[in-house]
Amino acid sequence: MDLTALFKIQYGLFVVGVEQEGRLNACVVNTVAQATAEPPQLTLTMQKRNFTTELARKKGSVAISVLGEKTPIELIERLGTQSGRDTDKMEDVPCTRDVAGNPLLVGNGVVAHYSAEITSEVDLGSHYLFVLKPTALEKLDGTPTTYSGYRARKSTGGKQWVCTICHYVYDGATPFEELPDSWVCPVCGEPKSAFVLE
Ligand code: FE
């Protein structure tokens, strides 16, 4: 069994926010997916040991901010790498509250807001899988980021490789530097040397 075959699955990137007893917490996940259309239901998988997971199970609802191509790397790192048990991660992060009081990120390249109730959970060992029923959905401007696009952007310090001829922005999972010399711009066919980091 080749586990790397699973790397072929594409993911988005999201901030899950919960308010519980006046306390705000949030974490970054790549595991939000639409499960059904009629009625709309989502799934969300979260690590059991995560503090936000604990709060979400007590609260019974979550607020999800869908991150975009313009979401700053520093914000993702800050919300993704620290634990809310030790620090107030949400301090200074601009947010609004949904009807349940859960925090949604404002600005920062966020492309959609989802508020949802947790209708059931499945124990997956290391994680819980939550089934979500949306109570509010809001579409904002911008293009959602993929998890691989975020990783590529992170590897260049937040900059992006852009084709100087057609302005195509490279967003592949392979770091740009590791692409073979034979690689060409998928839009205009110019070689790697036509790209600049900006
Ligand atoms: Fe091009």
| Nearest alpha carbon to residue 128 among 41, 69, 62, 50 | 50
Residue 191 Cα to ligand 1 midpoint, Å, equals: 8
Gap from CA of 98 to ligand 1 centroid (Å): 42
- Return the amino acid letter for 185: C
CA of 171 to the centre of ligand 1 (A): 13
- Distance from the alpha carbon of residue 58 to the mean position of ligand 1, in angstroms: 50
Is the full-model pTM beyond 0.85?
Answer: no
Phi, psi of 120 (to 5 degrees): -160, 165
Pairing verdict, β 61-66 and 40-47: unpaired
Distance 44 CA to ligand 1 centre (A): 37
Q: How far is the CA of 177 from the centre of ligand 1 (A)?
A: 16
Q: How far is the CA of 162 from the centre of ligand 1 (A)?
A: 8
Burial of 162 (0-12, 13-18, 19+ CB in 10 A): middle
29's torsion region: left (phi>0), alpha (psi -120 to 50) or beta?
beta
**CA of 154 relative to ligand 1 center, distance in Å:** 22
Q: Would you give per-residue pLDDT tens digits along the chain (198 residues)?
A: 998 888 889 999 999 999 998 889 999 999 999 999 999 999 999 999 999 999 999 999 999 999 999 999 889 988 887 776 767 788 889 999 999 999 999 999 999 999 999 999 999 999 999 999 999 999 999 999 998 888 878 877 767 889 999 988 887 777 888 889 999 999 999 999 999 988
CA of 143 to the centre of ligand 1 (A): 20
